[in-house]
Every structure is written in structure tokens, then in C-alpha cells.
Structure 1
Amino acid sequence: MKDYQKILVVVDPTTENQVALARAVTLASKSNAHVTVFLSIFDFSYEMTSILSSQEREAMRQGVIDQRVAWIQDLLAPYNHLGLNIDTQVIWHNRPFESIINHAIAGQYDLIVKGTHAHDKLKAVIFTPTDWHLMRKAPVPVLMVKDHDWPETGKILCAVNVATEDTDHQMLNGKIIEHAKDLAGKFAAEVHLVNGFPGTPVNLAIELPDFDAQTYNDTIRLQHEQRVQYLADAYGIDKQNCHVKEGLPEDVIPELAEQLDAELVILGTVGRTGFSAALIGNTAEHVIDSINCDLLAIKPDGYKSPLEEA
């Protein structure tokens, strides 16, 4: 995996605390990356002002854009002393996720960074429709950021899928671990692998009186442990950092992330069809709503965004 050389960070005009910007700056400082601070804005009232000419409406839109550019410059002031290569891009667009993805594709960015919305009462993270569209449709990795630091010697948790020997799964597992290893090298972090395996199907135990549920369970567990260990050996990950647990991924991953006090969970995503059911769609929604740390969503090599195909 190559370093993140071009980072597209999406700022949030509704909050003062720009967690995504802070994370992007931290990452850029580790790899001397170029950062673009991106904002997509739209106000339908400007489009409906029929008494104005198209030129006047355009001037009004440009005035709003200029105000936001100045606002972003104020956000960047605390980072000016770092000497990083940072530019800004504010555009007028009525579908934020499309503007973000299109800009990432056109600019050949290596990473999209966006903050999440915290729900004060529940202390949970609320993912917006834009967040979901980005994770499902962006062809580049998407880092969803919470309000916390990445300390040195932290923990990165890789959710791997070893249920089959399918080549696509194996390549995506490898890509997830490569991203984790690269980030771990920059932050002196530990890489952990997690895998959930299904328990004994209830209907088998009911329909087959002689069915040995314990033996079945032990066999499935051993198979998953061996495959996870093979991955760990291939990437130089300590055996004690391999975690194979009975249960659904949406339960196992958040539980282990909390147990380890992980800074980052990395998941593989491929859209909403096919083997994507493993980590995107319902499962990913449960995982993301439950974890108390950042999430990095990785696409397999060769993935084409629906926006590229449109």
C-alpha cells in the first residue's frame, strides 16, 4: 500500500470542532501529504429567486462560496506553522456525496476523511446519508472520524472475512491489513485481527437428533482460527493479536473494539450486493453505530463507483 499522498478532507459547517480536519492534518504530517479542505454547499432559495437574473443568482452563489472560503482559511490558521501543503475547494452542489466522490476521482485522491455526528444523549455516532453514500460508492478509502486523538502505541483492529477461500475476499483481507500496517508504522500502533464465525444452526440441532453441536462448533472455530493465523503469519502479526470469536460480525467487532480500546477499526466494503452483505449494508450499519472509535472503509482493487459508470 502506498502512503496517503493526497487527502480530501470534508469539513462540517454546522460545528466548530472540525475533527476530520485535525485527523487529516495529523496524517499529512506523518507522510508529507497534500491536503484539500473540501466543502459542498447548496441553498435552494438561491435557485428559486425568480426576480433575479441568472447572472445575479450566480453572483449571490459566488458570494456565499467566498464567505465559506474565508471561513475555511480561519479554520486552517492554527495549522499554518506546520508548513503543510493545504488548499481549499468550495463548490455549489445539491448532492454533497456526489460532489465529494467526483472530486476525489477527478483529483486521484488516496483518502477521503469526514467527521461523524455525535448524539449527545446517547454518546453515539450518528451517520448521515452522505456518510453512507461515501462508504458505499467512493472508490477510495473513506475514514470516518470521531472526536478523539490517535495516541502513539494505540490499537488498530482489522475486521477480516475468512469464511471462504474466495480470491476477492483474500485480496480484500490483504488490503485491509496493509493499510493497518502502514498506519501502525506511522503511529507505533499494534495491529489486531478480528473474525466472527457463526454458531451452530439451531435447525440442525433440532432436526438431527444425533447431530453433535459441540463438535461442529469446534470444527468451525478451528477452521477460522487457522485461516486467521495464516493471515497473521503472512503479514507478521503476533498470534496473541488474533481474535476469533463466535458471533455475528456486527456483535463481535464492536465488543472487541471496546475491549481493546481501539483507535481505529478497518472494514472491507464493496457496495450493497454480492458478498458485501458481510460488511456493508445491515452488518456495517450495526458495526458503525456501535463502535466508539474511527472507522476506515476499504474497497477492493478494481472497484468502480456507480458515479464513474454513470
Structure 2
Amino acid sequence: MTSNIGDAMKNLSKIVCVVDPTTKTQHAVSRASWLARLTGAELNLFICYYNEYLSGDRFFDSRSLAKARQEVVDGHLEYLESLAAPLRESGLNVTTTSTWDHPLHDGVVRHATECNASMVVKDTHYHSGAARILLSNTDWQLIRTVAAPLWLVKPREISDRPVFVAAIDPMNEHDKPAALDDEILITSKMLAAAAGGDLRAFHAYDPRIAIATASANAYLPVSLPMDEIEQQMREQHGKRFNSIVAYHGIREDHAHLISGRTFEELPALAIEQKADVVVMGAVARNRWKRLFVGATAERTLDHLPCDMLIIKPDWFKTPADILHHDEEAA
């Protein structure tokens, strides 16, 4: 598996960091520069901006509006250069890009595709009135449409010995290709090794689903052997889970097979293990549709206390209608 980890490291050659020009503290820049330093990847600092009142869409376009748009783009580029300067001095290979495009998530996807990004890194923020950090519409759209792995950063520092939790689905119960579990584990191992961190594998199974199915298929009221059903389910899931974690060389005491619902158990494990990053796969209904993020995934992601790295199936391509959008130049 060493060669696979080496290949994963080589494939991480360009990190696009989405910079929010409206905030002073840039947690995504901090995390992306940390990643670039670990992997030797090029770091691209990127601002995508749009203002409908300057766009010419609401009113007739004019030279003055075009000039104003260009001034905004240039101003953002200057800001990016101010962020890039100390990073370059520290030895990182840093480029900067400022664009005028909308909506934000499509602009990010187009840029990531055009520059062949190996990973996209973006901040998440607290929403007003919420005690926890909720993913924005832009975050969800990027999860569904960007082909590169997506690292969503929570506003917290990463530990010196970071803990990575690889959440896998060895039963492939959510239309997720089996190869995606391997990719999740290989990527997690590569990052944990590069950071001198710790790797944990996680899978949850819900016996209530099997019990409910058995009850629904019973034509007459029966007393179901619930303990036996749960034990059979644990054995089935355990066999597949133990096989894949053993193949990837993960220690038994670092493999967590848990009875319960993923959206409850994964955040609980992340808190218990003081996880810095949870690595998950995006599920897909089929190859011709956009990635589908189910209710379980939505409830899980919004409750995680740490960073998230979302990985797509290797066959996934960004929907053509996004890539072929006629971008409005400044």
C-alpha cells in the first residue's frame, strides 16, 4: 500500500484555496498553506466575486461599470498578493487568481476545473442564530458539483498530531462504489502520514433498519428475535469492515464498527477521538446525475465538530452545464 500512498501524494499537486474577501481571519488560507507545506503542492489563492449592481445585468452595461468591475478584481488581486507574500517567503509556491463570476459555487468549480485542481479548500462559518457551524448553500453545491476533493475548514486550529477519521461504507448501501472506500482510506493514510498524525476508520450500521424490514415483511404479528437479527447484521458488516481495514493496515484498536445511526455516531466519535478531520465520500445515484447528498449525510456534516474532506468517485465529472456557462468577464 506504500506505493498507493506515494501515488496519492504525487496526485496532490495543486491546491485551490477559496478566499473570502469579506472576512479578516482566513482559516482556509491557514489550512491550505499547511497542506501545501506537507505535500509540496502548489497553492493557488482564489477570490470569486460578483455584485449585481456592477454587473450590468440589472441596468444597461457601460464603460464606467466595466471599469468598476475591473477595479474590484484588481483590488482583490492585491489583497491575495498580500496574503501570498509571507507564504512565498516561507518557501511555498503560491499563485493568485481573482475573477468576476457567479454564482460563487459555479465560479469555484469552473476555476478548479480549468486549473486542474487536486483539491479545493474553503472556509465554513457560523450562521447567525446557530450555536453550531452550518454549511452554506455554496458548501452543499460544491459537495455536489466540484470534481476535486473538497476540504471544508472549521474556524479552529489543527493539532500538532492531527487525528483523521475515515468514514467508510463497506456494504455500499448508499449507491457508493466500493473503490471509493479505498480512495478514502488511501487519502486519509497519506495525509496522516505526512502530518505525523493518527488515522481511525469508522463505519456505523443501524439494526433498526433490518428489524423494521423484517417486521414489514411479516404477514402476521410475530415475535422477532431482535438480538439475533442485530448480531447477524453486526457479523455481516463486521466481516466487510474488518477486511478492508486489515487490507489497509489499520490497527484493530483504530477501527470503530458502531451500532447506531451515522449522523449520531460519527460526530460522537469525532468528539471522543478529538478528530481534526473527517474524510467521507459523496454518494451518487448514478454516473449521469449530479452527486446526491442524502438526508443522513446532510445531518452528519452539519454536526461534525471538525474539518471535513469530501471525496468523489474517480469517474465523477462536473456537470457540463456548469463548465459551459458563458462567464462574464470584467
* Unaligned 5+ runs, structure 2: 1-6, 325-330
Partner of 1:135: 143
Q: CA deviation at 1:96?
A: 1.1
CA distance in 1, matches of 2:323, 2:234: 40
Matching of residue 60 in structure 1 with residue 68 in structure 2: yes
- Match runs of 1:1-310 below 5 Å: 1-3=7-9, 4-48=12-56, 54-119=62-127, 122-164=130-172, 169-200=177-208, 201-202=211-212, 204-205=214-215, 207=218, 208-271=221-284, 273=285, 280-307=293-320
Q: Alignment partner of 1:305: what SS?
A: coil
TM (norm. structure 2) is 0.86
TM (norm. structure 1) is 0.91
Instruction: Please tell me whether the aligned partners of residues 158 and 180 of structure 1 are also in contact (alpha carbons under 8 angstroms).
Output: yes
Q: CA deviation at 1:50?
A: 8.5
Q: Structure 1 residues 199 and 68 mapped into 2: Cα distance closer, same or farther (>3 Å)? A: same
Instruction: Please tell me whether the aligned partners of residues 119 and 126 of structure 1 are also in contact (alpha carbons under 8 angstroms).
Output: yes
Q: CA deviation at 1:57?
A: 2.2
Q: CA deviation at 1:103?
A: 1.2
Equivalences, count: 309
How many percent identity over aligned positions? 26
Higher mean displacement: 178-187 or 120-129: 120-129
* Unaligned 5+ runs, structure 1: none
Q: CA deviation at 1:94?
A: 2.1
CA distance in 2, matches of 1:266, 1:304: 20
CA distance in 2, matches of 1:167, 1:202: 21
Backbone CA RMSD of aligned residues: 2.7
Q: CA deviation at 1:70?
A: 1.3
CA distance in 2, matches of 1:183, 1:50: 46
CA distance in 2, matches of 1:111, 1:51: 37
CA distance in 2, matches of 1:281, 1:166: 9
Task: Give 1:259's aligned amino acid.
Answer: E
Instruction: Please tell me whether the aligned partners of residues 34 and 86 of structure 1 are also in contact (alpha carbons under 8 angstroms).
Output: yes
Instruction: Please tell me whether the aligned partners of residues 34 and 85 of structure 1 are also in contact (alpha carbons under 8 angstroms).
Output: yes
Higher mean displacement: 52-61 or 189-198: 52-61
CA distance in 1, matches of 2:138, 2:173: 33
Higher mean displacement: 200-209 or 94-103: 200-209
> Cα deviation per residue 1:9-29 (whole Å; 9 max; x = unaligned)?
001122111011111100111
Higher mean displacement: 82-91 or 123-132: 123-132
> Cα deviation per residue 1:128-187 (whole Å; 9 max; x = unaligned)?
111111111111100000122222332111111122499953200000001100001111
> Cα deviation per residue 1:191-245 (whole Å; 9 max; x = unaligned)?
1111111223246358552421101101101111121111111100001111111
Q: Alignment partner of 2:151: what SS?
A: strand
Task: Give 1:25's aligned amino acid.
Answer: S
CA distance in 2, matches of 1:269, 1:50: 37
Instruction: Please tell me whether the aligned partners of residues 270 and 303 of structure 1 are also in contact (alpha carbons under 8 angstroms).
Output: no
Q: Alignment partner of 2:63: what SS?
A: helix
> Cα deviation per residue 1:16-69 (whole Å; 9 max; x = unaligned)?
110111111001111221111111111111134988763332221101111111
Q: Structure 1 residues 227 and 49 mapped into 2: Cα distance closer, same or farther (>3 Å)? A: closer
Q: Alignment partner of 2:199: what SS?
A: strand
Q: Alignment partner of 1:83: what SS?
A: coil
Instruction: Please tell me whether the aligned partners of residues 135 and 269 of structure 1 are also in contact (alpha carbons under 8 angstroms).
Output: yes
Task: Give 1:292's aligned amino acid.
Answer: P
Instruction: Please tell me whether the aligned partners of residues 201 and 256 of structure 2 are also in contact (alpha carbons under 8 angstroms).
Output: yes
Q: Alignment partner of 1:153: what SS?
A: coil
Task: Give 1:146's aligned amino acid.
Answer: K
Q: Alignment partner of 1:144: what SS?
A: strand
Q: Structure 1 residues 108 and 60 mapped into 2: Cα distance closer, same or farther (>3 Å)? A: same
CA distance in 1, matches of 2:244, 2:99: 43
Q: CA deviation at 1:309?
A: 7.4
Instruction: Please tell me whether the aligned partners of residues 136 and 270 of structure 1 are also in contact (alpha carbons under 8 angstroms).
Output: no
